[in-house]
Chains A and B, each alone.
Chain A
Amino acid sequence: MNRKRMQSLGLILAVTLTSLALAQQKGTVAIGSKLDSEGQLLGQMMRLTLEHAGFTVKAQIPTGNTFVTRKALIEGQIDIYPEYTGSAINNFFKGQKIPDGAPSRAAQSFAIVKTLDLKLNNVAWLERAPANNTFAVAIPITLATREGLKSLVNLAAYVNKGGVLKVVGSQEFFERSDAFPSFEKAYGFKLKADQKVVIAGATTTQTEQAAASNTDGANAAMAYGTDGAIAALGLVVMTDPKGAQPVYQPAPTVRGEVLKKYPEIAGLLNPIFKGLTLPVLQNLNRQIDLEGKAPLDVARTYLASKGFLK
């Protein structure tokens, strides 16, 4: 082998090693998400943030439904994905003792999920968003301001003194004991059959639309707390101070090994999730669901406007 050839070989080796070392330093992280638009939005936010911080990101957004995505995380096929405290507490810890009433208290359910998941599965939960994406009742803002209705306590009092209320929802919403009946039980009111508009298999978009346009006299709708259509349709969510519903707050779930290797991930994602309040998430979901923007674009614009991407 002549000298020139040796030199060039040496150069190639040096370049390869340096680039390998650089890649090692920044690290590769696989990010997933569930299929829904909020899941994809949060997944894309994580992806952009980590890419911006110099990580090499393998994006697998969306990964699949809750079962597939969670399994991919546990099996180490993805490293991070956004999950809801409520889904975790209901589905991931079968056989574990969960204190009564804990699922409907935000701080307590987060603490339980965080402790159990780390102990049992070595999965870490980072900072949660202060927004609750659970079953809720939404009513037109005009009705809310006229009658001074803010929470389900007010709404129950309004119904009990004979106020006009007609709720539109899916069959499941009215029949499942942990859905609408749990509101009636916790707040002490009972709707008559003619005060319910049942649409079998209805989505929250359809019910919100019906309540907003007063279809069949409906003036209240089954909704999810962070639905993008709520504000756009002139509706407002009744708060649930007694905690009739389990709390569904989204947070990044990270494999323990990955967080140990790259602890800076927590510092990068926590300030972002802290800022995702109910109105903020409603507005971002609205851009995806109503305006039809792509989750990646909405995530990028939002992060840039908040100064997370420079």
Chain B
Amino acid sequence: MTNPNRIALLGCLLAVSSLVWLPFLELKANRLVAGSGRRLLELGAAGWWLVGLLLLAGSSAFLIPRFRAPALAILGNLVFIVGIVLIGLDASKLLGSSTLARVSLAPAAWLMLVSSSFLIFAALNDLKNIWLKRLTSSVGILVFLVILLTGGLSSLSVIREYQTRLDTFWLEVGRHLGLAIWALFTSSLFGLPLGFWAARSKRFEGFILGFSGLLQTIPSLALLALLITPFSALVRAFPILESFGIRGIGFAPAITALTVYGLLPIARGVLNGLKAVPETALEAGRGMGMTSVQLFLSVEFPLALGLILNGIRTSAVQLVGLSTLSSLIGAGGLGVFIFGGLGSAANDLVLLGAIPVLVLAVLTDAGFRTLEQASIPKGLR
């Protein structure tokens, strides 16, 4: 007998025990009050399907790898899909016709979703075929999106928040992205030359790292508030700036503050990248009679690119998160929901802002990782 797949087994154990003992959904009399939990099996007999699937998945962890991988891939996705469907159905059943009541996910639902990803990861480890891998990792997400877009989850509290803020939600997502992208652009504009300069001059290196490190320690809220005065003065002196959208509050000071925070990872990435270029590669280049420009373009830069992109990725992910602060200076973004929700103790509104920030951060990270992979010279891959 082969060893059972421990990840899959752990996931199933976690899910089954939490579904039995912990609340699956939480019902609140209204948006602000504390709610009471309901376990899956209290919500109807259909819950047994989910438990059954999990037990089946747990036992298939003992199969030989050739059968185990496809079994886990199918069962992992099934657990995820059936779980999402049950969340949607039970939530609308629990909500009934009440207009004030809210239903949100409780620990067992979250743990069930986590353990379905355990099963899928276990399957991905065993699968060899690249297309089967892609299918396994995307089917669940695609079905989830279909259920979400067709309104299958509209009884959930977060979706309710989304529906009441439909007219501003996508506007704020767009603003958030715009802020992060612009800030990444300006951070790179200053960070790349600074890093290059630091790598060239020993004396400057300490100054750059010290200075951009110092900038990172400025409390963000204080920095935002401090920027209002100079920007307002600037616009008063040059009213033409206003036609470019530059004002004392809003986009311009927000981008400035974000740039300050985005600088360090990029400068450090360039510095580390250039420093990591082996002296032997430089010698070889010089030996071939390269000028210093040629040496930079065809030896140093390609070899440093991986670490440079790594720095830009760190900065990008940070900026996606930090852009939430822009709402504190009238520049909008998803922080509007997060800080609005915190102010009125409405957790679901906080989630409406926080979940998209999380998704954006993960997507940004994945995108730049792909870029980093592609940037590695063929010979080194």
Chain A residues within CB distance 8 Å of chain B: 32, 35-37, 40, 60, 62-65, 67-68, 71-72, 75-78, 203, 205-206, 209, 229, 232, 288-294, 296-297
Which residue of the partner chain, among A72, A288, A293, contacts B248 with CB atoms under 8 Å? A72
1/0 per position for B65-84, CB-CB distance to A under 8 A? Answer: 00000000000000000000
Decide: B344 and A68 in contact? CB cutoff 8 A.
no
Return B14 CB to nearest CB of chain A, in Å.
Answer: 32
| B340 part of interface (Cβ distance < 8 Å) | yes
Which residue of the partner chain, among A32, A35, A60, A71, contacts B229 with CB atoms under 8 Å? A71
Instruction: For A290, list chain B residues within 8 Å (CB).
Output: 30-32, 100
Instruction: For A35, list chain B residues within 8 Å (CB).
Output: 328, 339-340, 343
Decide: B225 and A68 in contact? CB cutoff 8 A.
yes
Decide: A205 and B225 in contact? CB cutoff 8 A.
no
Q: How distant is the Cα of A165 from the Cα of B197 in the complex, in angstroms?
A: 69
Return B171 CB to nearest CB of chain A, in Å.
Answer: 12
Instruction: For B339, list chain A residues within 8 Å (CB).
Output: 35, 62
Which residue of the partner chain, among A65, A72, A209, contacts B34 with CB atoms under 8 Å? A209
| B370 part of interface (Cβ distance < 8 Å) | no
Return B176 CB to nearest CB of chain A, in Å.
Answer: 15
Please judge, given known A-B contacts A35-B339, A40-B340, A75-B248, whether A68 and B165 are in contact too, CB under 8 Å.
no
Decide: A77 and B161 in contact? CB cutoff 8 A.
no
Please judge, given known A-B contacts A64-B249, A68-B249, A291-B99, whether A209 and B33 are in contact too, CB under 8 Å.
yes
Instruction: For A296, list chain B residues within 8 Å (CB).
Output: 167-168
Return B34 CB to nearest CB of chain A, in Å.
Answer: 7
Q: How distant is the Cα of A71 from the Cα of B165 in the complex, in angstroms?
A: 28
Among B46-63, those with CB < 8 Å from A are none
Which residue of the partner chain, among A67, A291, A297, contacts B100 with CB atoms under 8 Å? A291
Instruction: For A67, list chain B residues within 8 Å (CB).
Output: 225
Decide: A68 and B164 in contact? CB cutoff 8 A.
no
| B124 part of interface (Cβ distance < 8 Å) | no
Binds A, one of B264-272, B310-318, B345-353, B356-364: B345-353
Decide: A291 and B336 in contact? CB cutoff 8 A.
no
Q: How distant is the Cα of A60 from the Cα of B108 in the complex, in angstroms?
A: 41
Residue of A nearest to B33 (CB): A209
Residue of B nearest to A67 (CB): B225
Decide: B224 and A68 in contact? CB cutoff 8 A.
yes
Return A212 CB to nearest CB of chain B, in Å.
Answer: 9
Knowing that A75-B229, A292-B346 touch, tell me 14 more A-B residue pairs with CB under 8 angstroms.
A35-B328, A37-B340, A37-B343, A64-B249, A64-B329, A71-B225, A72-B248, A75-B248, A77-B247, A77-B330, A78-B249, A205-B32, A290-B31, A292-B164
Instruction: For A63, list chain B residues within 8 Å (CB).
Output: 249, 329-330
Residue of B nearest to A32 (CB): B330
| B354 part of interface (Cβ distance < 8 Å) | no
Decide: B232 and A77 in contact? CB cutoff 8 A.
yes
Task: Give the secondary structure class of A's interface.
Answer: mixed
Return B289 CB to nearest CB of chain A, in Å.
Answer: 59
Return A284 CB to nearest CB of chain B, in Å.
Answer: 13
Return A288 CB to nearest CB of chain B, in Å.
Answer: 7
Return A74 CB to nearest CB of chain B, in Å.
Answer: 9
Among B322-381, those with CB < 8 Å from A are 327-330, 336, 339-340, 343-346, 348-349
Q: How distant is the Cα of A293 from the Cα of B327 in the complex, in angstroms?
A: 20
- Which 6 A-B pairs rank lowest in CB-CB distance, beginning with the nearest? A75-B232, A77-B248, A63-B330, A60-B330, A203-B345, A205-B345
Decide: A64 and B100 in contact? CB cutoff 8 A.
no
Decide: A60 and B249 in contact? CB cutoff 8 A.
yes
Instruction: For B100, list chain A residues within 8 Å (CB).
Output: 290-291
Residue of A nearest to B331 (CB): A60
Among B233-265, those with CB < 8 Å from A are 236, 247-250
Instruction: For B33, list chain A residues within 8 Å (CB).
Output: 209
Pull 18 A–B residue pairs with CB atoms less than 8 Å apart, ordered by A: A62-B330, A62-B336, A62-B340, A63-B329, A63-B330, A64-B249, A68-B228, A68-B249, A75-B232, A75-B248, A76-B232, A205-B344, A290-B100, A291-B31, A291-B100, A292-B349, A294-B167, A296-B167
Return A12 CB to nearest CB of chain B, in Å.
Answer: 20
Q: How distant is the Cα of A68 from the Cα of B225 in the complex, in angstroms?
A: 6
Return A233 CB to nearest CB of chain B, in Å.
Answer: 8
Among B83-140, those with CB < 8 Å from A are 99-100, 102
Decide: A291 and B330 in contact? CB cutoff 8 A.
no
| B38 part of interface (Cβ distance < 8 Å) | no
Decide: A206 and B345 in contact? CB cutoff 8 A.
yes
Residue of A nearest to B226 (CB): A71
Instruction: For B344, list chain A residues within 8 Å (CB).
Output: 36-37, 205, 288-289
Instruction: For B247, list chain A residues within 8 Å (CB).
Output: 77
Instruction: For B340, list chain A residues within 8 Å (CB).
Output: 35, 37, 40, 62
Instruction: For B336, list chain A residues within 8 Å (CB).
Output: 62
Residue of A nearest to B247 (CB): A77
1/0 per position for B143-179, CB-CB distance to A under 8 A? Answer: 0000000000000000011001101100000000000
Decide: B225 and A289 in contact? CB cutoff 8 A.
no
Decide: A294 and B165 in contact? CB cutoff 8 A.
yes
Decide: A64 and B30 in contact? CB cutoff 8 A.
no
Q: How distant is the Cα of A293 from the Cα of B349 in the complex, in angstroms?
A: 11
Return B84 CB to nearest CB of chain A, in Å.
Answer: 23
Instruction: For A37, list chain B residues within 8 Å (CB).
Output: 340, 343-344
Residue of B nearest to A292 (CB): B31
Q: How distant is the Cα of A75 from the Cα of B234 in the complex, in angstroms?
A: 11
Decide: A294 and B328 in contact? CB cutoff 8 A.
no
Decide: A64 and B328 in contact? CB cutoff 8 A.
yes
Decide: A68 and B330 in contact? CB cutoff 8 A.
yes
Instruction: For A65, list chain B residues within 8 Å (CB).
Output: 328
Decide: B228 and A72 in contact? CB cutoff 8 A.
yes
Q: How distant is the Cα of A63 from the Cα of B329 in the complex, in angstroms?
A: 6
